[in-house]
Structure 1
Amino acid sequence: MTSTAAVIGAGTIGRSFARLFAASGHPVRVWDPRDDLAEVVAGIREDVAADLADRPGQTGGEIESAATLEEAVASAGFVQESGPEDPVEKPRLFARLAEAAPAQAVLATSSSTIPASLIAADLPDAVAARIIVGHPFNPPHLMPLVEVVPSPRTSEDTVAAAVAFYRSCGREPVVLRREVRGFVGNRLQNALMKEAVALVENGVVTAAELDAVMRNSLGLRWAAVGQFAGMHLGGGEEGIRGFMHHIGPSFAAIDPLPLDLGDAAMEQVYAQVEDAYGTTPSAAAAAERDRIQRAVLQARGQAD
């Protein structure tokens, strides 16, 4: 399936989505009010060319900047909006998208906090039927997951079209059965983040040591299997039932540690992280992260 894709917003997520879509063969138009949009799009073209250099015979889609939002979406079959997380402005933006895009275009948002039902609340049913959340994990051109989150007013055709489009880009979409704040990935990340901060604040472990624990145990395991598959394997012949019968009571007895996410309490966490990794995250560290993630995907047969 080849469809013209419009990317609205050329920040970190928007640029990565544009790179993914173009490298997957879709023509892409990018719009953002930033003054340097032409330079940004030129950079995306270079990234796409580098991606395709390792894929002999695969042709990328043409990628262009658009002078206006309306121009970007005028011929789009799929729109991926990646603008600011503003619950007031985003519904207004989608009203403009619905007005300018073809009547059958899917209108997806990368939002990690704003549900499709809020975006579509004041829009007609025919428009609401086309609005859906397509929430990635950063960077979208590398991470396979896209959480596809319809509102109660989103049509089944829109869900199916969104899933098909993301799959055409080599992603692994998961459709949520109902809207919930934070969706699934961020809720899991939120629970782990709070426990990690509590362990550091309470002097159990340093930030760097906690990362070493994650890299050398849970992170390594979760790269191969998910939470429930890991429990099932860990339970021996009885699977997950055996796991819970043997370990469940002990886990249930673990008391929560005191937690304070305010700046004063977090200062020791900030200091430890900056001491371990530098005050500003480095491009080299990000490149090393991506190299390892690509290697994991290759081992799983999910990358070229």
Structure 2
Amino acid sequence: MTDIRRVGLIGGGVIGAGWAARCLLNGLDVDLFDPDPEIGRKMEAVLGNARRAYRRLFPDAGAQEGRLRLVSSVEPAVEAADFVQESLPERLDLKQAVLAAASRAAGDDVIFGSSTSGLLPSDMQKDMAGADRLVVGHPFNPVYLMPLVEVCGGALTSEDAKRKAAAFYRSIGMHPLMLKQEIDGFVADRLMEALWREALWLVHDGIATTEEVDEAIRFGPGLRWSFMGTFLTYRIAGGEAGMRHFMAQFGPALKWPWTKLTDVPELTDAFVDRIAGQSDDQAGSMSIRELERLRDNCLVSVLSALRTQGYGAGATVDRHGDLLRDRAQAAAREGGIDPSMPLHLHDCRVESDWTDHSGHMTEGRCLQVFGAASDALLRHVGVDVADSHRGKGYRTAESHVVTIGDAALGEPLYVTTQVLGVEATRLQVFHTLYKRDDDTPVATAEQMLIHVDAGSRRPTSADDRVLDGLNAIAAAQKFLPKPAGAGRFVGA
């Protein structure tokens, strides 16, 4: 964790707006400067997509959103900031001038991150006050979903600045890749540039269209790259003998005249028109905002799938999901929770893939929400749910769901939880799902959870600390009336 609560952003284009969304959705206040008179409208469009994607990726986070303030110049964007991120166009003279001015307006200990995708930090920092605090924090679009951020220092950058920047980026759910030295384009852009050059030649020479090039990636190696990258993928391709065998078998092919990476086709008007026309055909009738939402949907699906494996970017997302839930529950505890009443520990919203053909929430998604509510209860009494899934922990053995009403797409919901019984190996709870706007009940679920040892798969007693917490809630709630429907069986 870091003590950063307010972020100053300079530049609100595609990258700057993405930074704003990520920070705001992680509960940080943002002061943003961009001279574009349309910045307010554009920010709302990006935030709308980001909120939608975050709700799908972290459906049980319940995080409090930060506040956005649009300012009219650089200085008020950084004066109260705990961290500053610059996302200006890739012009060295512009970045030098603005960073110099901003560094004199910000606090002396405030770290500056630059979103540059290729300029060297040594060149950008030379006119700054406190030049040792500038790092490159190079993200990838969309910033609010993509975990990677390349962190690189310049000749004057201190190790402390790089360490603090990385800690901040981790606190908002990112994966900092710490570069040992600065280089034009850093690491990821150099790799993407190599593929981009080859792709341009394939289109230029009429070998493939823009759509066919993209299909070659998205149906092939791109799927492996999303979780293993290049070297680990090739290691597996070498079989039991590993990377050494792969290099011996395929290394000679590197001398074949396949690539044109040292050259690039001339970007004539005719060639640019051909690429643009093919790209228009590829996109069809979809607008940029529609393409962004499709991209976000697919990214959330890939990240969610990787999250179930706790691997690669999925591990980063999983850790951050736990952090968001912990923050939300800490805020709830600070706000005061009356244990003698049904506990309000989980909030969510009906997403587009939660509904049936009629647009109403399905029973399967109700079960998902009730499972998240049980996890929220366990976290509330100090259970690390992520760790419990890998060792001893509670498993849902039985659920009885009753649908009372309908919840439509986009409706905000919340769950209350009543503890009906606690034993050493068993926990009985009753959840009620409500519409947040008018407290109308949507569904109920009575659940029996068994505390199980993952190794033996047999019931085992929960820790005394957990049982004490659950028993305290059960004792406080024992005067509540038995929930309507509790103890029913199918058809009763």
Q: Partner of 1:230 in structure 2?
A: 233
Matched, 1:293 2:314: no
Q: Distance in 1 between matches of 2:233 and 2:306?
A: 16
Q: Distance in 2 between matches of 1:260 and 1:84?
A: 25
Matched, 1:197 2:200: yes
**Identity of paired residues, percent?**
33
> Aligned to 2:297, what secondary structure does the other structure show?
helix
Residues matched between the structures, number: 302
The question of whether the paired residues in 2 share the 8 Å contact of 1:2 and 1:25 is answered with: no
Q: Partner of 1:272 in structure 2?
A: 278
The question of whether the paired residues in 1 share the 8 Å contact of 2:49 and 2:293 is answered with: no
Q: Partner of 1:64 in structure 2?
A: 69
Match of 2:212 among 201, 209, 214: 209
> How far apart are 1:40 and its partner, in Å?
4.6
Q: Partner of 2:288 in structure 1?
A: 282
Instruction: Show the 5 A alignment for 1:109-128.
Output: 109-123=114-128, 127-128=130-131
> Aligned to 2:92, what secondary structure does the other structure show?
coil
Q: Partner of 1:22 in structure 2?
A: 24
Q: Partner of 1:171 in structure 2?
A: 174
Change (3 A) 1:167 1:261: farther
> Aligned to 1:221, what secondary structure does the other structure show?
helix
The question of whether the paired residues in 1 share the 8 Å contact of 2:74 and 2:98 is answered with: no
Mean alpha-carbon deviation: is it higher for 207-216 or for 275-284? Answer: 275-284
Considering Cα pairs closer than 8 Å and 6+ residues apart, tell me whether 1 or 2 has the greater RCO.
1
> How far apart are 1:216 and its partner, in Å?
1.0
Mean alpha-carbon deviation: is it higher for 171-180 or for 259-268? Answer: 259-268
Taking structure 2 as the reference length, what is the TM-score of the superposition?
A: 0.58
Change (3 A) 1:55 1:213: same
Q: Partner of 1:101 in structure 2?
A: 106
**AA aligned opposite 1:233:** I
Note the alpha carbon deviations across 1:140-161, whole angstroms, 9 max, x for none. Answer: 0011111111102100110001
Change (3 A) 1:211 1:177: same
> Aligned to 2:151, what secondary structure does the other structure show?
strand
Mean alpha-carbon deviation: is it higher for 229-238 or for 62-71? Answer: 62-71
> Aligned to 1:146, what secondary structure does the other structure show?
strand
Higher strand share: 2
> How far apart are 1:283 and its partner, in Å?
2.4
**AA aligned opposite 1:6:** G
> Aligned to 1:129, what secondary structure does the other structure show?
helix
The question of whether the paired residues in 1 share the 8 Å contact of 2:28 and 2:66 is answered with: yes
Structure 2: any 5+ residue segments left out of the alignment?
308-313, 322-492
The question of whether the paired residues in 2 share the 8 Å contact of 1:2 and 1:26 is answered with: no
Structure 1: any 5+ residue segments left out of the alignment?
none
Q: Distance in 1 between matches of 2:265 and 2:302?
A: 34
Q: Distance in 2 between matches of 1:228 and 1:23?
A: 34
Q: Distance in 2 between matches of 1:266 and 1:43?
A: 29
Match of 1:161 among 161, 164, 167: 164
The question of whether the paired residues in 2 share the 8 Å contact of 1:22 and 1:48 is answered with: no
The question of whether the paired residues in 2 share the 8 Å contact of 1:70 and 1:101 is answered with: yes
Note the alpha carbon deviations across 1:147-196, whole angstroms, 9 max, x for none. Answer: 11110210011000110000001000101111111111111111001111
RMSD: 2.3
Note the alpha carbon deviations across 1:224-254, whole angstroms, 9 max, x for none. Answer: 2111111111111121111111111124324
Q: Whose radius of gyration is greater, 1 or 2?
A: 2
Change (3 A) 1:220 1:88: same
Mean alpha-carbon deviation: is it higher for 264-273 or for 42-51? Answer: 42-51
Q: Distance in 2 between matches of 1:268 and 1:162?
A: 42
**AA aligned opposite 1:85:** E
Q: Partner of 1:135 in structure 2?
A: 138
Instruction: Show the 5 A alignment for 1:233-244.
Output: 233-244=236-247
Change (3 A) 1:190 1:48: closer
Match of 1:11 among 5, 13, 37: 13
Change (3 A) 1:286 1:48: closer
Taking structure 1 as the reference length, what is the TM-score of the superposition?
A: 0.91
Q: Distance in 2 between matches of 1:209 and 1:39?
A: 35
Note the alpha carbon deviations across 1:23-43, whole angstroms, 9 max, x for none. Answer: 112221111222244445555
Change (3 A) 1:199 1:281: farther
> Aligned to 2:84, what secondary structure does the other structure show?
strand
Higher helix share: 1
> How far apart are 1:295 and its partner, in Å?
0.8
